Amino acid sequence: MSETQEVRREAIVDVLANRDRPPRPSALSTSLTFGWRALLKIKHVPEQLFDVTLFPIIFTLMFTYLFGGAIAGSVENYIQFLLPGILVQSVIMITMYTGTTLRTDLEKGVFDRFRSLPIWRPSPLVGMLLGDAVRFSLASLIICLLGLVIGWRPQGGAIGIVLGVLLTLVFAFAIGWVWTFISLVVRSSGAVMGVSMMVIMPLTFVSNIFVDPGTMPSWLQGFVSVNPISHLVTAVRSLMGGTPVGSEVFFTLAWAAGLVVVFGTLTMLRYRDAK
């Protein structure tokens, strides 16, 4: 046996004989790693940015110039009322792509490998949602900049804008658990999209995003008053407009916590046996 072969043999023996294991990664580090993975996917498939760039721009311009004159008399007046709501609607509607992305990974068998790793079990899902938070932040930034260009003047200043966006991101993270659960129940990404749209459409359109609920029939006002999207929009409007927020922030955070507890638990129960 040559000297080189002997060195290699000894190195292999040392590795096999070493019983020391590297420390187990923390829940935070593994979640951040999977979040970085979600961002790297955008690098390889930049078309994923269409929904957080073109989609918010189209929605903002379309609804502002379509309804501005009819509802508020002018675009300048309507944009002050609409922009916080359209920001919420755009971000919430984008969250449904979280479910379709997860369903696609499940169909490819990627998550079967993740479940076999010695890591915190929810970290692939949490990391995916954290990665999406970056995309939602980009969409929020685009909407705010576009709003400023077409006449939006938030009285809450930069701090109010940041707080409003952060509250929206918290709720978006929470509602993302709904779509992850749905993606583990249905059998295709197309089905995830269909179910998500059936939930999102009434929640966003039957709310206070576009008009004052006072103009609606009383039976419809009842739904709007308990709609979590309405609470979120009212809170964001107050933060960005520099007016007292009252209890709306509390209701929004309570809804977000409830969604995480309920659908986060259901997601993990389903995730253990998902195929």
Q: DSSP per residue over 1-30, as a string?
A: --HHHHHHHHHHHHHHH----PPPPPHHHH
Cα distance between residue 244 and residue 226, in whole Å:
20
pLDDT per position as a tens digit, 60-119 = 898 888 888 888 788 888 999 999 999 999 999 888 888 888 888 788 777 777 777 778
1 falls within a domain: no
20 falls within a domain: no
186: left (phi over 0), alpha (psi -120 to 50) or beta: beta
Choice among 34-43, 127-136, 175-184 with the minimum mean pLDDT: 34-43
Helices then strands, counting H and E runs in the chain, come out as 12, 0
> Is residue 120 within 8 Å of 31, Cβ to Cβ?
yes
Structure confidence at residue 12 as a pLDDT band (50, 70, 90): low
Structural domain that includes position 189? 25-271
- Split into its structural domains, the chain has a count of 1
11 falls within a domain: no
pLDDT per position as a tens digit, 192-244 = 888 988 999 999 999 999 988 888 888 899 999 999 999 999 999 999 999 99
Residue 132 token pair: 């999406």
The H-assigned helical ranges of the chain are 3-17, 27-44, 50-72, 75-94, 96-108, 110-115, 123-149, 157-185, 189-205, 218-226, 228-241, 248-271
19 falls within a domain: no
Q: What letter does residue 217 receive in the DSSP assignment?
A: -
107 falls within a domain: yes
Q: Which amino acid is at 67?
A: F
254 falls within a domain: yes
Cα distance between residue 47 and residue 119, in whole Å:
31
According to the model, what pLDDT value does residue 85 have? 93
255 falls within a domain: yes
pTM summary value: 0.85
According to the model, what pLDDT value does residue 234 have? 95
Q: Cα separations (Å) of 132 from 101, 150, 154?
A: 10, 27, 26
61: left (phi over 0), alpha (psi -120 to 50) or beta: alpha
Question: Residue 42: is it exposed, middle or buried by C-beta count within 10 angstroms (0-12/13-18/19+)?
Answer: middle
Q: What angle do CA 97, 102, 105 make, to 5 degrees?
A: 130
Look-up: residue for tokens 């932040």?
Answer: 137
Q: Which amino acid is at 8?
A: R
According to the model, what pLDDT value does residue 240 have? 95
Q: What letter does residue 154 receive in the DSSP assignment?
A: -
Q: Cα separations (Å) of 90 from 3, 144, 187?
A: 66, 12, 26
Cα distance between residue 97 and residue 135, in whole Å:
11
According to the model, what pLDDT value does residue 7 have? 59
160 falls within a domain: yes
